[in-house]
Amino acid sequence: MGSSAAIRPVILLAGVSAAVGLTAATAQSSDTIRISGSSTVHPITRSAIREFKSTAAGATSNFKLSETGSSAGFRQFCSGTIVLANASRPISAKELRSCKTNNISFIELPIAFDAITVVVNPANSWANSLTINELSRLWSKQAQGKISQWNQVNLDFPDVGIKLCGPGMDSGTFDVFNKTVNGSKTNSRTDYTSSEDDNVLVRCVMENKDALAYFGYAYFKNNAKSLKSVKIINPEGQATAPSRQSVQNEKYQPLARPLFLYVNDQALRKNKNFRQFVSYYLRNISSLVNSSNYIPLPDSTYRLVDAKLYRHILGTSFGGDLPVGLTIGQAIDRSFDQHKTSAHR
C-alpha cells in the first residue's frame, strides 16, 4: 500500500473536528461549553457534539473541544477551566484534592469500555503475540537506552531495531498501561516518540515497518487495514486479540479498561445548554460508543448511568486509585458502589 493510501484513515478521523465548528472566535464566548481531556474518549464526545448541534436544542450551542490527555484534562477540570472532562482512567487522589480545594463537585459517569491495543506494522511477521513480561521488558525504565532490538524482547524475534511510539505522560492510556505492565504509572522509558494525539502514533506505525505502539482500540479499528494488532497473553495463558467480544467475555486481560465522563455539577445545574447536551449525550450513548468503535456497556448499565446523573450522585467510586485489569462486571460494580466513606469521595 502506498503512503498516501496508508494515512487516509487518519486524515478522515482528524478532519471531523473542523465539522464541529470549534473556531477561535467561538472559544472566546462566555457561553462556550469547554471540554477537554482524553484522546481516547475524544472521538465519542466529538460525535456527540456534532450530532447534538444538528438538533433544535443544540443548533445555537458553542463548544470548544480539546484533546490534551486525561491528566491535563483533570488539571483543567479541577481548576474550573472546563465543565466536562473526557477521561480514560478514574480521577486520582491528587486530582481529588485539587477539585476539593477549588470547590469543584462532579458526577463520574462510566460510558464505555476500551481495549488498550498494542500494534505493529503489517510487514511485521514475527510479533503476533506478546506477554505482559515481554511488554515490560520493552517499556519499563530499565529498558531505556538498552532494549532497542526485537530479539532483545524475545530471542525468536529477528535482530532488527525497534521504533517505539506511545502516549505522552499526560495521557490516561500512559498511566493505565504502565501501571498494568510495569507496576507503576511512572515506570516507563522516555526514549520513544510520544504524543497526546493518537493519530500521530497511528502514523508512526504505518510509516515504520519495525515500529510498535499502544493506544485506544478505536484508533486501531479505524485504521485496521494499515495496522496489525498484537495478541496479548492473558492470565489464563491464552493469546487474545483485542475485540468487542474478547472484552465483553472478559478474555482480553489485563489491558481492558473503563472510559469516563466527569461532569461539573455546578455547571450542570446552572447552564441549560450544558444540561441539554449532557442529557443528549447519555440518551444516545450506546450508538455514539458503537459508531466510535469502542465497546458499549449493557443497556441496563446505561440506565444506571442515567440515574446517577439525574440524582446528582457526586464523587468517585474509585477512591483516587488507578485500578488495572478490571473486567466489565468489576468496573460496573465499582462504578455504582455508592457506599463509600466520605474519604473516598
So what's the pLDDT on residue 30? 55
pTM here? 0.86
Q: How many residues does the chain have?
A: 345
Whether 339 shows a pLDDT value over 90: the answer reads no
Q: What is the pLDDT of residues 79-119, one digit of tens each?
A: 999 999 999 999 999 999 999 999 999 999 999 999 999 99
Q: What is the pLDDT of residues 16-46, one digit of tens each?
A: 333 333 333 333 345 899 999 999 999 999 9
202-223 mean pLDDT: 96
- What distance in Å separates the CA atoms of residue 76 and residue 205, rounded to the nearest whole number? 31
What fold is seen in the domain 117-248? D-Maltodextrin-Binding Protein; domain 2 (3.40.190)
Q: What is the pLDDT of residues 217-226, one digit of tens each?
A: 999 999 999 9
So where are the chain's domains? 3-112+258-344, 117-248
315-338 mean pLDDT: 77
Which region, left, alpha or beta, applies to residue 37 given φ > 0 means left and ψ of -120 to 50 means alpha? left
The answer to whether domain 3-112+258-344 and domain 117-248 are alike in fold is yes
Higher pLDDT: 144 or 13? It is 144
Are 115 and 273 within 8 A, CB to CB?
no
SS (H, E, C) the chain: CCHHHHHHHHHHHHHHHHHHCCCHHHHCCCCCEEEEECCCCHHHHHHHHHHHCCCCCCCCCCEEECCCCHHHHHHHHHHCCCCEEEECCCCCHHHHHHHHHCCCCEEEEEEEEEECEEEECCCCCCCCEECHHHHHHHHCHHHCCCCCEHHHCCCCCCCCECEEEEECCCCHHHHHHHHHHHCCCCCCCCCCEEECCHHHHHHHHHCCCCEEEEECHHHHHCCHHHCEECEEECCCCCEECCCHHHHHCCCCCCCEEEEEEEEEHHHHHHCHHHHHHHHHHHHCHHHHHHHCCCECCCHHHHHHHHHHHHCCCCECCCCCCCCCCCCHHHHHHHHCCCCCCHHHC
* Mean pLDDT for the chain overall: 88
Which of the listed CATH numbers 3.40.50.1220, 3.30.70.360, 3.40.50.2000, 3.40.190.10 matches domain 3-112+258-344?
Answer: 3.40.190.10
Backbone phi, psi, residue 33, to 5°: -85, 110
Whether 250 shows a pLDDT value over 70: the answer reads yes
Q: What is the pLDDT of residues 111-154, one digit of tens each?
A: 999 999 999 999 999 999 999 999 999 999 999 999 999 999 99
Whether 2 shows a pLDDT value over 90: the answer reads no
282-311 mean pLDDT: 93
